[in-house]
């Protein structure tokens, strides 16, 4: 049970940190790209950036899963 509590606490920490960092990051990106000094004025840049980050996360997960060592049940 303690192991589940530790996992739950770590997950809650990651969710809270990503909410804080994501809010600050995407607000700044949005405000820059709707300002007149931006090279491209588009409110969609924040969405494109989120898509790029998600794509990198899926790629990292895919590569990590394909390079994981074989378990005892897979070796038989």
- Number of Cβ within 10 Å of residue 36's Cβ equals 5
- All structural domains of the chain with their residue ranges: 2-70
| Half-sphere exposure of residue 60: CA atoms within 13 angstroms, side-chain side | 6
Indicate yes or no: pTM above 0.75.
no
pLDDT digits (tens, 9 = 90+) for 43-73: 899 889 999 999 999 999 999 888 867 665 6
pLDDT digits (tens, 9 = 90+) for 6-37: 889 999 999 999 999 999 999 999 999 999 99
- Asked whether the beta carbons of 37 and 31 are under 8 A apart, the reply is no
Question: DSSP character for 4?
Answer: H
> What pLDDT score does 4 carry?
82
């Amino acid at each position: 049970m303690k192991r589940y509590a530790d996992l739950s606490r770590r997950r809650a920490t990651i969710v809270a940190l990503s909410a804080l960092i994501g809010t600050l990051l995407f607000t700044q990106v949005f405000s820059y790209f709707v300002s007149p000094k931006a090279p491209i004025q588009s409110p969609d840049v924040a969405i494109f950036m989120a898509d790029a980050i998600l794509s990198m996360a899926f790629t990292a997960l895919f590569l990590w899963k394909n390079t994981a060592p074989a378990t005892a049940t897979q070796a038989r």
